[in-house]
Structure 1
């Protein structure tokens, strides 16, 4: 399972104009997400109510490793089994692990977590699932499986996002104010059909699966674009991806305005805006077996 929030499925997008034909890859967006939001991910791991430092951790739907590497930093004695359905993401994660000299502490497993039989994941002390649970076809079954995999007293951390991050002010762009919100509304209508558990309250579902909820916390993310050069690239890649999934649901004027924002050669393109920010929320549930 791949992480969710910056990437949507490619669905019959209209032909992209010159300058936006190459949509940002999912792996690129996940890497940018990790770079821009690293402090917030670290804050979540620091908050986790662990009773003792875990030695064995499973990262479900690890993507390219945003959570994996923060967990390795947070728990320096731990090993992580990183699980994802994407061979590309896992290859990228292994390359990063080698570059950071932690390859001996990471084991990657390619698996479809919707399958009836999971690969052997040991008996972890901590299972981490960031923006992956809402992708599951049967999340109730997944929760029960995680409960059975965990060591007695082990912790399950479910991290979910309120939705796609926002980057533009409400009155932007000048020729089509509110454009970003309309694009997100179109995307959310499609997500509601294919991913009904996005935005769910996972507390009752965790309790029903046999867990005891030990904490819930919502973190508000608001990062000014001036703090990181990656914010502009993150906005560009994310909105390109959003265009792919919503183009045929947008008005002609909105699509044209979005394409102007995504034109990297234009003086009015998103990379040249000085008013970008990253705004979103993340909620984490900490549940004990």
Structure 2
């Protein structure tokens, strides 16, 4: 997270958990989601976040954000190139784009890591009690790990990629430029 971040966008905010976490570090947070019911639930619990009902691909934001974050949303978007381009456009110069996404295995190493993820998921569900979000789900993910990584490398030069257990990957990209220190 940039040290002087003043604005953050949680893409596909769902129940708003990430937006709430971001709000502890960033003064102005916006959470956007296409699903009115999950957004209304988040809105009722937290009034210090700007909750936006809309599609991130079309919503007419008036500026950019120092932090653009997305957890388990990218696999809901069919056009990876357009989605990553849009998220990059919404990131302020000097800002950061962080995505934790879900992908489909296609290689033996993918399947092995996902098998570990199945065991880990079952253990955590048993240990911490299973919690199910109320946002819509897409399973299996339409894009493979390799497709997401190739697309991200093309759209976000210099991005950092890491495969994670439990069917996930993390992608981080710092937009070139200098972060402004005032609100947008």
Do both share a fold (TM > 0.5)? yes
1:143 aligns with 2:92: no
Q: Cα distance, 1:126 vs. partner?
A: 0.8
Provide the residue aligned with 1:86 in structure 2. 35
Pick from 52, 61, 82: which aligns with 1:109?
Answer: 52
Q: What stretches of structure 1 of length at least 5 have no aligned partner?
A: 1-49, 98-102, 169-189, 221-279
Q: Cα distance, 1:285 vs. partner?
A: 1.1
Q: Cα distance, 1:119 vs. partner?
A: 2.5
Between the aligned partners of 2:174 and 2:84, the Cα distance in structure 1 is 12
**Alignment length (residue pairs):** 147
Q: Aligned to 2:55, what secondary structure does the other structure show? A: coil
1:208 aligns with 2:149: no
Between the aligned partners of 2:27 and 2:142, the Cα distance in structure 1 is 34
Per-residue CA shift, 1:107-149, capped at 9, x if unaligned?
0111124x5x333152101100111011102121011111122
Q: Cα distance, 1:200 vs. partner?
A: 4.9
Q: Cα distance, 1:80 vs. partner?
A: 1.1
Between the aligned partners of 1:96 and 1:121, the Cα distance in structure 2 is 26
Between the aligned partners of 1:201 and 1:126, the Cα distance in structure 2 is 24
Provide the residue aligned with 2:179 in structure 1. none
Q: Cα distance, 1:219 vs. partner?
A: 4.6
Between the aligned partners of 1:90 and 1:121, the Cα distance in structure 2 is 21
RMSD: 2.6
Whichever structure has more helix as a proportion of its residues is 1
Q: What stretches of structure 2 of length at least 5 have no aligned partner?
A: 104-113, 124-137, 176-184
Contact kept in structure 2, 1:129 and 1:158, CA below 8 Å: yes
Say if 1:211 and 1:153 are closer, same or farther in 2 by CA, change over 3 A.
Answer: farther
Per-residue CA shift, 1:219-238, capped at 9, x if unaligned?
54xxxxxxxxxxxxxxxxxx
Whichever structure has more strand as a proportion of its residues is 2
Provide the residue aligned with 1:37 in structure 2. none
TM-score (norm 1): 0.45
TM-score (norm 2): 0.68
